[in-house]
Amino acid sequence: MLDPGSSSTPPDPSFDADARTEPRDDDRLLVLSDDVVIESEGPGYLVLANLELSTRVRLSRPLYEFVRLFREPSRVADLVPGEVRQRLKPQLEMLMAKHVLLDPDVEGPRRELRLRSNVAYRFCNSPAFDPRSPTDFTIIGLPCDSESDCDSRLAPEALRRKSLDYPFRRAIENNLPCGWFDADTGRWILKGASLSDAGDIAIEHGESQASLFVRVDKVLEECRQGGSTPIILGGDRGATETALKTVTGNGAPTIARLRADGSLAVPDIGKAIYLSIDLAIASAAYSDPRSKAAETLATLSDLKERVVALGRTNPIIAIDLVGLDMRGDAGRLGAALGCELALTAMEAACGSS
Catalogue all structural domains in the chain, each as residue range(s) with its CATH number: 17-102 (3.90.930), 116-352 (3.40.800.10)
Name the DSSP class of 100: S
Q: What is the pLDDT of residues 111-153, one digit of tens each?
A: 566 788 889 999 999 999 999 999 999 999 999 877 666 778 8
Give, rounded to a whole angstrom, the gap between the first and last alpha carbons of the chain: 91
Count of helix runs (H) and strand runs (E) in the chain: 10, 15
DSSP line for 124-139: GGPPBP-TTS--SEEE
pTM exceeds 0.85 for this model: no
**Where is 342: in which H helix or E strand?**
helix 329-352
H-type alpha helices, 139-252: 155-163, 209-223, 238-248
Q: Which helix (H) or strand (E) holds 285?
A: helix 284-287
- Cβ atoms 92, 25 nearer than 8 A: yes
Average pLDDT of the chain, as a whole number: 83
The answer to whether residue 350 scores a pLDDT higher than 70 is: yes
Which whole number is the average pLDDT over 84-106?
A: 87
**pLDDT tens-place string over residues 13-45:** 343 444 334 445 567 789 999 889 999 999 999
Q: What is the pLDDT of residue 20?
A: 39
Per-residue pLDDT for 222 more than 70? yes
Q: Nearest Cα to 266, choosing from 186, 190, 348?
A: 348
What residues contact residue 310 under an 8 Å CB cut-off, 6+ apart?
A: 256, 264, 266, 273, 275, 316, 348
